Amino acid sequence: MKVWLDGKLVNKEEAKISVWDHGLLYGDGLFEGMRIYSGKVFKLEEHMERLYQGAHVLNLEIPYSREALAAIVLETVAANDRRDGYIRLLVTRGAGTLGIDPAKCPKASVVVIVDGIQLYPEELYTAGIPIVTAATRRLPGDVFDPRVKSLNYLTNIMAKMEATRAGCPEAVMLTREGYIAECTADNIFIYSKGVLKTPAAHLGILEGITRATIMELAADAGIPVEEGVYNRTDLYLAEEVFLTGSGAEIIPVTEIDGRKIGEGTAGPVSGKLRKLFQDLIK
């Protein structure tokens, strides 16, 4: 396996960063998770756009132009001869001092990792998954804007541990007011009374690339889509619930907090949107 690390491709065993890197010390940095399908990177431009927007918010200067970094991603994919898989692109503040002052970090560090991925077994895409509500709340947007896909995922990790203890692969996180935000690694959708619903961005969610794609596909297919404010009752009474993400793609949810969703099986709307998504990939 070859990893791009600060200007060159190195073997996996040689891919090392400094222990003074502010990404390691303070979570000071950004990342993108991207999928490779048939040797091509899905929505590469959209991922670059989000990365550079986040870097602007953090006042973090990426030492490559957007076009150059996109070319680096493609070079790393080719070097690993990956037809299908996953890309983790990281930009950290770089090595500095043990103090938090980012001005002491003279240059950002860039890492591109290309590997395989399988978040869920194939049978779960038809059988669906159970999820639970996490006690750990989503970090509110007035504290830190989740549109910045930072390296600090501690609240997500805490919620993920809750899911694991409950025997579930995912957990839905709520805002501090108790409204649905998103899951630990995925966005969430509700289908009810002919309308596809998803939490609004102002509730403190990451505006996922796959989320936006599904909203576009649904609208094109004549399915009304709305962004709004929803609570757990909306989940429990939904006809269908499903999750979206670069890794998960589209996976149906058939149980939440011990309550069956709809008929307790993958529903026709999530199935239709998954097919449309797969057609788009092809």
Q: Would you give the distance in Å from CA 172 to the centre of its chain?
A: 14
CB contact at 8 A, 30 and 90: yes
Residue 266, Cβ density class (10 Å: 0-12 exposed, 13-18 middle, ≥19 buried): buried
Catalytic residue (choose from 149, 193, 197, 282): 149
- Residue 229: count of CB within 10 angstroms of its CB: 14
**Nearest-5° Cα angle at 155, 197 to 207:** 35
Q: Counting Cβ atoms within 10 Å, is residue 233 exposed (0-12), middle (13-18) or buried (19+)? A: exposed
Active site residue 149: yes
What span, in angstroms and rounded, lies between the C-alpha atoms of 69 and 179? 37
Residue at token pair 């040689």 = 14
Q: Which residues are catalytic?
A: 149
